[in-house]
Amino acid sequence: MAEAFHEEEVLGKAYDSRLMRRLLTYLRPYWRVVVLALIAIFFYGLLQAVPPYLMKVEVDRYLDPTHHAQIPKFLAGFLSPNPMVGIMQIALALFLPSAVLTFLLEFGQDFAMQFVGQKVMYDLRKQIFGHLQRLELSFYDRNPVGRLVTRVTTDVDVMNDLFASGVVAIFGDIFTLLSIVAIMLKVNWALALLTFSVLPVIVLVTMWFRKAVRESYRRIRVAIARINAYLQEHLSGVAVLQLFNHEDRSYREFEAINRVHMEAYKDSILAYGLFFPAVEFLGVAAVAIILYYGGLRSLGGAVTVGTAIAFIQYSQRFFRPIQDLSDKYNILQAAMASAERIFKLLDAPVTIADPEKPQTLPRYEAPALATAAAGVASDDGRLAGDGHAAGNGHAQGHGDGVLTGARIEFRQVGFAYDGVHRVVEDVNFTIEPGETVAVVGHTGAGKTTLTSLLLRYYEVQQGAILLDGIDIRQLRLADLRRNFGLVLQDSFLFSGTIASNVRLGLTPGMKPISDDEVREAARQVNALPFIENLPAAFDEPVKERGVTLSVGQKQLLCFARALAYHPRVLILDEATSSIDPQTEYLIREALRRMLENRTALVIAHRLSTIQNASKIVVMHKGRVREIGTHQELLDRRGLYFKLYQLQYKDQEIKTGSRE
Amino acid sequence: MAGFLTLAISQLVGVIVPLIIKAGIDGLSRSAPVRTLLFYAGLMLGVALVKAVFQFWMRWILIGISRDIEYDLRNDLFAHLEKLSQRYYNETRTGDLMSKLTNDLSAVRNLVGPGIMYSASTIVVGVATIALMVHLDWQLTLLALIPLPVVSVLVKIFGQKIHDRFERIQALYSELTERVRENLSGVRVVRAFCQEEPEMALFDGMNCEMVRRNKGLIWISSFLWPVLALMFSIAFMLILVFGGRHVLAGRITVGTLAAFNVYLMYLIWPMIALGWVTNLVQRGLASLGRLWQIFAAQPDIDDRAAAPDVITSIRGEIEFRNLTFAYNGRPVLKNISLHIPAGRTVAIVGETGAGKSTLVGLIPRLWDAPEGSLLIDGVPVRRIPLAQLRHSIGFVPQETFLFSESILENVKFGAPEATLSEAERATAIANILPEILSFPKGFETMVGERGLTLSGGQKQRTAIARALIRDPRILILDDALSSVDTGTEEKILQELSGVAAGRTTLLISHRVSTVQNADEIVVLRDGEIVERGTHGELLANEGYYAELYRRQLIEEELEMEA
């Protein structure tokens, strides 16, 4: 079997100074907290050496004073000669404060760094998500959504490990080790050095253990990934498996990878099983050394009982920092891999952006939508200024609810998604204000590409598209897109409510859409009856992209959404999916009303839409083949005639029988 | 049992060590001869070694068992899932199953492994340690133990809190993930409606909430460990004070004091584990319940009504006898009567949702037809053993499903004993052999995510080869040529009729070209047969089929258009 590594599983080196430097810049806004945490952890490390030392002082000064060990002067002066009082002094004046301080420092430091970690994650997520909002569609074509989601989620989480428990904690472990080592050397350097003799062994054992565990964990990860992939695949394909009598063989296959997983785990048990006892044994060995050497040297009085007791405790405190430090390797390694992927995304250039010196369209203001009180269904689509205004599309008399259309010109437009194979070539046609242009053609004719180019999802590679005489590349993206109301083939709903799906979020520079306007838009597209039948009407929650709604209902909602914005131009990609006759009737009616006198570009699949269009553009294999009205084109008996026979003719029969 | 024995030995031996330390320190204090101390040191190492060996053994047995149980449980779950019918899978989301098979399984494993080991060792160590401490100085023991129950309680409560808050964060996290996915999938709508900034604001809201909830978690999680450390410090301080006084009073020696210190360290982990393990057990039991749900689902298609020798070998005669089939109370097929003599080719056409796939799915019993309404070779289908029935059928489903294995493995999926030359033969008929051979690795080429991405047509033809290699008596092609171009389709159909002598063939298609040569063509609409006959007869009928034919002609013309 081939090794199943996804991009996500590749781990590189644990430290990359270039990446690290860039990562640390994310700490900059919080540098004060980080510095405080560092200071806290420094003192925390120092305090780790205190309790055993106090034990030593108590024993040597009061409990076993026969050997008269030297106690530092400041302590000797402070402590009462009365043992009962002295012991209380040690406990309450020295031990307790240091314990409480340790508690405060550790808690404060950990909380602060975890918090900084959260802040950094917040910043990273915001930055990545923001960048994704600006990257062009072709980037999305190259990168599957699932992978991009991982960048915002999983990869950022890995960063948290680095900031919350990595960077600062490393210093904590180092400070702790250093202060213990220092104080042991200070108390009795010879005994200290002897005790340290177990250190290299501990380090070696720990390193061996880390390596063994890392290796078996890697195998476990691979095995679990394979188990999950196998399950996912074979549960999805369980019908095929049953049809082909494959149950027993699949079971054996599954058993085999399950066994690999179990064995890898048993190896890790082996590693743990050897490691923990080994560490404990080394701890005891250190104690044995201390005792034996203490016995030798105490004859001369150099090792006091207090020292021996303190050293026994110190020797038990080596282990945690050493084990912690070796953990950090994995954290670093994973963080570097994720950082690399995140930065790669952040470095992806935004090529479709606002021009440096954008041109402005003549100011256009949305008219107040006719309210229900006005009582006229189709009065929102009156057109102003066809002929003379065609060139510049001036809005005339915004105040009185008159909607101005726009003029759109495709001028020798050519485009290839891969830069080589042209999907659209030499496309020329114009949509005059108020005109509904229907684009028809067989699958793969390049119809949808035209709308994608108009919205600047992709950049035209040849020729130009002009809006009111201005090349759309000269406009700010928002200024351009604000002109259009879009209905896609797949009705896309956001999670939220019915109302929020019509209204959407507040676009900067545009007036908020009122409840009445939402209602009016829904009414115009025949969506009101079904919405009002929902338990919570407009406040009905939309979950999982509208699973609870029918295909037709979703379409109607998308219509309403497109209208609520009072777009100058409607861009409509009609859905092909079949819909129950009743909803189909509602949709057709809605379409008729929406398109009446409105500037629109429609990729049409409905005969009724085509028949009502001002003109029809027939595309075939990326080129415009015929332009004309329905009747003109039918009379021509060309490509359109055939398409008509294929796609639209039977609608005539059906619709005829229904109406 | 051996596990618990090793556990008991290792822990009981372990608690001796501090006693030796006590003797050693006292020896030091008395200025005992070096020999004595050397003896203590050696003894200590010996005891530690014994402990280490048993400790290893214990972990190996006890944690190993939990892994064995996990392994068995996972195998059993898979074997059970293999037997469940389509009905179960239509009602159960794969994602839910996956989460049970991963999360719940590991929770159960933690219950039987660490859960049991740590509770047992906690009890043994706790009892033994405390007994020895009491033996040394019961007053001091009582004092030193005051803060310890607090530790267990803290771990229990905080552990649960941490778990709850963590779950709440996870819930938000999946919401946030879903939100990002939604935004990215709807990129066209987002851009067209200039929703970038509102979307960012929305995301920011969740992002802030994420930080807020995490703050709630890190507050306790940062607090827990330091506060535990503080509790132990207080216990040490009590030993320092009262142990010191007892030494001064001559009740205990300095060595006892040192031993107390070490015992206290021994108690740290069991006290923490006590709180931790109770949570582990609770979660494990809940997960165990969810796993039982899977086992509780009974396979509804099996050999219950089968008679082993009802047919020696299937010829391939199929009869639907006034069949009506409903799914979840919704009628899908109505009054279907269709007799297909062995060796004949019957085609089924009709609109999406007419019930075509359901009809052919009844034959291999993906769903069960009502008693007596489906007969194979004159025998009710449920009387034929399932394995025998399916062995004689070559099924090419509508949605081509290939596994992430090599092409050869995929082709041989239903015929493990087939030779390479048989695979070549099958793929040749399916018209995919030349393409397979043109791949760098030929038949060994991997399919799917980890290997070559096959085109829709290539996948379909591979699936056809997979069905053909079994040399089935009944061949069912459920719209299996839809992604294959008409020229290739024609070749495949020709090859099929060449080798298909005596084979019963069912064809579902939207294309006239696929079905026109069938012995009989059946048109389904809303679950009923509305037209039937040969190509010629149906053309004359001027119904659905004739319209289909006309459209195809125009389509061909359009294709020709430059």
Domain map (residue ranges) of chain A: 17-188+328-350, 189-302, 372-658
Over range A281-294, report the average pLDDT: 85
CA distance B192 to chain A (A): 6
Contacting B residues, span 246-285, partner chain A, CB-CB under 8 Å? 247-248, 254, 257-258, 261-262, 265
Rounded-to-integer distance, Cα B258 and Cα B23, Å: 10
Tens of pLDDT, residues B103-156 = 788 888 888 877 777 788 888 888 888 888 898 888 888 888 888 788 888 888
Task: Using the predicted structure, report yes or no on whether residue B500 has a pLDDT greater than 70.
Answer: no
The chain B residue lying nearest A115, using CA atoms, is B215
User: Comparing C-alpha atoms, which of B536, B498, B541, B509 is closest to residue B520?
Assistant: B536
The 3-state DSSP class for residue A352 equals coil
The 3-state DSSP class for residue A421 equals coil
Report which DSSP code applies to A543. -
Tens of pLDDT, residues B296-323 = 988 888 888 888 888 888 899 999 999 9
Phi, psi (deg, nearest 5) at residue A85: -65, -45
Q: Which of A51, A103, A309 sits opposite B258 (nearest CB)?
A: A309
Over range B233-256, report the average pLDDT: 89
Collect contacts of A145-153 with beta carbons under 8 A, ≥24 apart. Answer: A145/B181, A145/B184, A145/B185, A146/B181, A147/A7, A148/A345, A148/B180, A148/B184, A149/B177, A149/B180, A149/B181, A149/B184, A150/A8, A151/A341, A151/A342, A151/A345, A152/A125, A152/A128, A152/B177, A152/B180, A153/B173, A153/B176, A153/B177, A153/B180
Instruction: Determine which of A392-406, B348-362, B378-392 has the lowest per-residue pLDDT on average.
Output: A392-406
pLDDT value at residue A299: 53
Q: Which of B25, B173, B391 sits opposite A309 (nearest CB)?
A: B25
Burial string for A280-319 (b: 16+ CB within 10 Å, else e) reads bbbbbbbbbbbbbbbbebbeeebbbbbbbbbbbbbbbbbb
Q: Mutate one of B6, B184, B272, B477 to test the A interface: name it (highest A CB count within 10 A).
A: B184
Tokens describing residue A162: 């680095």
CB contact under 8 A, A99 and B177: no
CB B210 within 8 A of CB B173: yes
pLDDT value at residue B392: 92
Over range B372-383, report the average pLDDT: 92
List of chain A residues whose C-beta atoms are within 8 Å of the C-beta of residue B84: 238
User: Is domain B2-170+212-296 annotated with CATH 1.20.1560.10?
Assistant: yes
Task: Using the predicted structure, report yes or no on whether residue A384 has a pLDDT greater than 50.
Answer: no
- Secondary-structure breakdown of chain B: helix, strand, coil percentages, each rounded to the nearest 5: 65, 10, 25
Q: Which of A148, A313, A504 sits opposite B193 (nearest CB)?
A: A504
Q: CB of B30 within 8 Å of any CB in chain A? A: no
Task: Using the predicted structure, report yes or no on whether residue A399 has a pLDDT greater than 50.
Answer: no
CA distance A499 to chain B (A): 15
CATH topology of domain B318-392+472-560: Rossmann fold (3.40.50)
pLDDT value at residue A66: 63
Model confidence band, residue A372 (pLDDT cutoffs 50, 70, 90)? very low
A68 or B483, higher pLDDT = B483
pLDDT value at residue A297: 67
| CATH architecture for residues A372-658 | 3-Layer(aba) Sandwich (3.40)
pTM as predicted:
0.75
Length of chain B in residues, anyone? 562
Size of interface A-B (CB pairs under 8 A): 388
User: What secondary structure does DSSP assign to A65-83, as a single string?
Assistant: GGG-----HHHHHHS-SSH
Q: Mutate one of B193, B215, B220 to test the A interface: name it (highest A CB count within 10 A).
A: B193
Rounded-to-integer distance, Cα A448 and Cα A437, Å: 14
Q: CB of B442 within 8 Å of any CB in chain A? A: no
ipTM above 0.95, yes or no: no
Q: CB of B227 within 8 Å of any CB in chain A? A: yes
A564 or B351, higher pLDDT = A564
Q: Mutate one of B84, B91, B222, B545 to test the A interface: name it (highest A CB count within 10 A).
A: B222
Rounded-to-integer distance, Cα A501 and Cα B509, Å: 39
* In the block, residue with structure tokens 């006239």: B512
CA distance B110 to chain A (A): 13
Angle at A288 between CA A282 and CA A290, to 5 degrees: 105
* In the block, residue with structure tokens 């949305």: A366
User: Comparing C-alpha atoms, which of A20, A82, A91 is closest to residue A55?
Assistant: A91
Phi, psi (deg, nearest 5) at residue B323: -85, 130
* In the block, residue with structure tokens 């030349």: B434
- Report in angstroms the alpha-carbon separations of A249 from A226, A254, A320, A356, B294: 17, 9, 48, 64, 21
List of chain B residues whose C-beta atoms are within 8 Å of the C-beta of residue A495: 178-179, 182
Task: Using the predicted structure, report yes or no on whether residue B521 has a pLDDT greater than 90.
Answer: yes
Q: Mutate one of B6, B11, B19, B28 to test the A interface: name it (highest A CB count within 10 A).
A: B28
Q: CB of A148 within 8 Å of any CB in chain B? A: yes
Model confidence band, residue A411 (pLDDT cutoffs 50, 70, 90)? very high
User: Which numeric CATH code is attached to A17-188+328-350?
Assistant: 1.20.1560.10
Q: Which of B203, B223, B413 sits opposite A107 (nearest CB)?
A: B223
The chain A residue lying nearest B392, using CA atoms, is A244
Q: CB of A580 within 8 Å of any CB in chain B? A: no
The chain A residue lying nearest B198, using CA atoms, is A505
Across chain B, mean pLDDT equals 86
CA distance A379 to chain B (A): 23
The 3-state DSSP class for residue B337 equals strand
Over range A501-512, report the average pLDDT: 79
Rounded-to-integer distance, Cα A433 and Cα A435, Å: 6
Residue type, position A157, single letter: D
Tens of pLDDT, residues B395-449 = 998 888 888 889 999 999 988 889 999 999 999 999 999 989 988 889 998 887 6
- Report in angstroms the alpha-carbon separations of B559 from A574, A605, B553: 23, 19, 10
CB-based burial label for A544 (10 Å; 0-12, 13-18, 19+): exposed
Over range A163-182, report the average pLDDT: 85
pLDDT value at residue A302: 67
CB contact under 8 A, B198 and A59: no
Across chain A, mean pLDDT equals 81
CB contact under 8 A, B192 and A481: yes
CB B295 within 8 A of CB B43: no
CB contact under 8 A, A102 and B401: no
Q: In what order do the strands lie in the sheet with B520-525?
A: B393-396, B474-478, B504-508, B345-350, B520-525, B528-533
